[in-house]
């Protein structure tokens, strides 16, 4: 009997959570409806506690009375954890496989998209590797690094390009010297590195995708999405990658089985993939909710 009651309460609570997410979307346009339930329960739970709300319905009243609470909710739901050269194997693969392949080819430009870039450590790390490789190989190429995130606050910090001592501790000292300027207790990214990157807000759930990339880096975001949303986003990425373009995912991420044939695996440990042209896959492309 107690187990049955617990189950009924959990189901009611899940229904209320879905109701709350729909309401937040209708009122403010934040679309977290297809984020993983566990993440939502954990993160919204913090807001409930902070505002002494016992249920999602009570919390909805708080949102109605205090619209500033929406921003706090948004901040809790966009998890900005990141670092320079996060996950060694990914950056080794970029340095040893991807960048040499992109620089070797005949093309005069390289187009890279860092999606869900948070406060910028990821695109700056990629830019450092590219600069190093081009210098060593005495090569000049037009480089476009588009770095996007749903969170304007994170992007504002990314654009400033000022990082603490602790943040730059993950970067090789010779590169810190080359690409950063000491500024008190912090380090400021040198203009020539900053120039390579365009930071922009972009919501991968609802905004149109940009086109024609040699490399898309989408790490540690898909883990927060439910499977149908992951699949939709990866299909969009596939469409916007050039033929044979690279995709780098986060350590705990991989293309779902439903996407078999869209990406070939280059390095499983690094989560590095390459796209296969759509006409060879038999998979239909559909951006709409399924
Ligand atoms: C954990 S961070 C990952 C940062 C970086 N890619 C890394 O791996 O270090 C996740 C980022 O994804 C962003 N994000 C979450 N949902 C998003 C969406 N729908 N569209 C774009 N960015 C999103 C968050 O704002 C956050 O900055």
The order of strands in the sheet holding 180-183 is 162-164, 186-189, 180-183
- pLDDT score for 11: 75
Mean residue pLDDT of the chain comes to 92
**pLDDT tens-digit readout, 15-67:** 999 999 999 999 999 999 999 999 999 999 999 999 999 999 999 999 999 99
CA dist., res. 79 & res. 84, Å (int): 16
Does pLDDT of 1 surpass 90? Answer: no
- pLDDT score for 13: 82
Confidence label for 7 from pLDDT (cuts 50, 70 and 90): low
Q: 222 CB less than 6 Å from ligand 1?
A: no
Q: Whose CA is nearest to atom 17 of ligand 1?
A: 150
CA–CA distances in Å: residue 232 to residues 65, 97, 226, 258, 280: 35, 27, 10, 11, 19
What's the burial of 75, exposed, middle or buried (CB within 10 Å: 0-12/13-18/19+)? middle
Which of 34, 35, 117, 221 for mutating ligand 1's site (highest number of atoms within 8 Å of CB)? 221
Task: Tell me the mean pLDDT in the region 77-87.
Answer: 96
For ligand 1, the distance from its centroid to the CA atom of residue 6, given in whole angstroms, is 34
For ligand 1, the distance from its centroid to the CA atom of residue 82, given in whole angstroms, is 9
Does pLDDT of 289 surpass 50? Answer: no
**pLDDT tens-digit readout, 178-200:** 999 999 999 999 999 999 999 99
Q: 219 CB less than 6 Å from ligand 1?
A: yes
- Helix, strand, or coil here: 200? strand
E runs forming strands in the chain = 109-115, 142-149, 162-164, 180-183, 186-189, 197-201, 213-218, 241-249, 263-267, 272-275
Of 279 and 115, the one with more pLDDT: 115
Q: Which two tokens stand for residue 96?
A: 């040893």
**pLDDT tens-digit readout, 240-255:** 999 999 999 999 999 9
**pLDDT tens-digit readout, 98-123:** 999 999 867 789 999 999 999 999 99
Confidence label for 287 from pLDDT (cuts 50, 70 and 90): very low
Q: 223 CB less than 6 Å from ligand 1?
A: no
β-pairing, 142-149 with 197-201? parallel
Task: Name the percent of the chain lying above pLDDT 90.
Answer: 86
Q: Whose CA is nearest to atom 24 of ligand 1?
A: 78
Task: Tell me the mean pLDDT in the region 86-91.
Answer: 97
CA dist., res. 280 & res. 276, Å (int): 7
What is the maximum span of the chain, computed from C-alpha positions, in angstroms? 74
CA dist., res. 265 & res. 262, Å (int): 10
For ligand 1, the distance from its centroid to the CA atom of residue 183, given in whole angstroms, is 27
Q: Which two tokens stand for residue 84?
A: 């320079």
Q: 75 CB less than 6 Å from ligand 1?
A: no
> Which residues are paired to 200 by β-bridges?
148
- pLDDT score for 283: 52
Q: 212 CB less than 6 Å from ligand 1?
A: no
Residue 261's closest CA among 269, 273, 248, 271? 273
For ligand 1, the distance from its centroid to the CA atom of residue 105, given in whole angstroms, is 30
Task: Tell me the mean pLDDT in the region 228-247.
Answer: 96
**pLDDT tens-digit readout, 136-188:** 988 889 999 999 999 999 999 999 999 999 999 989 999 999 999 999 999 99
């Amino acid at each position: 009997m107690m187990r049955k009651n617990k189950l009924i309460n959990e189901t009611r609570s899940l229904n209320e959570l879905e109701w709350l997410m729909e309401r937040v979307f209708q009122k403010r346009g934040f679309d977290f409806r297809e984020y993983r339930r566990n993440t939502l329960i954990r993160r919204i739970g913090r807001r409930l506690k902070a505002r002494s709300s016992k249920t999602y319905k009570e919390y909805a009243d708080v949102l109605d009375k205090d619209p500033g609470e929406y921003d706090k909710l948004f901040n809790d739901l966009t998890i900005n954890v990141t670092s320079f050269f996060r996950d060694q194997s990914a950056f080794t693969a970029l340095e040893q496989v991807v960048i040499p392949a992109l620089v070797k080819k005949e093309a005069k430009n390289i187009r890279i998209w860092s999606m869900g870039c948070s406060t910028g450590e990821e695109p700056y790390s990629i830019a450092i590797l590219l600069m190093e490789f081009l210098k060593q190989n005495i090569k000049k190429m037009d480089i476009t690094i588009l770095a996007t995130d749903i969170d304007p606050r994170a992007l504002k910090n990314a654009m400033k390009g000022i990082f603490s001592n602790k943040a730059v501790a993950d970067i090789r000292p010779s590169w810190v010297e080359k690409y950063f300027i000491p500024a008190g207790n912090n380090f400021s990214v040198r203009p020539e590195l900053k120039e390579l990157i365009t930071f922009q807000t972009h919501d991968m759930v609802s905004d149109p995708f940009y086109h024609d990339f040699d490399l898309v880096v989408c790490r540690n975001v898909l883990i927060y999405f439910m499977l149908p949303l992951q699949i939709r986003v990866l299909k969009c990425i596939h469409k916007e990658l050039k033929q044979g373009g690279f995709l780098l995912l986060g350590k705990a991420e991989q293309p779902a089985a439903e996407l078999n044939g869209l990406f070939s695996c280059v390095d499983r440990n690094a989560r590095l993939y390459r796209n296969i042209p759509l006409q060879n896959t038999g998979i239909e492309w559909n951006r709409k909710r399924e």
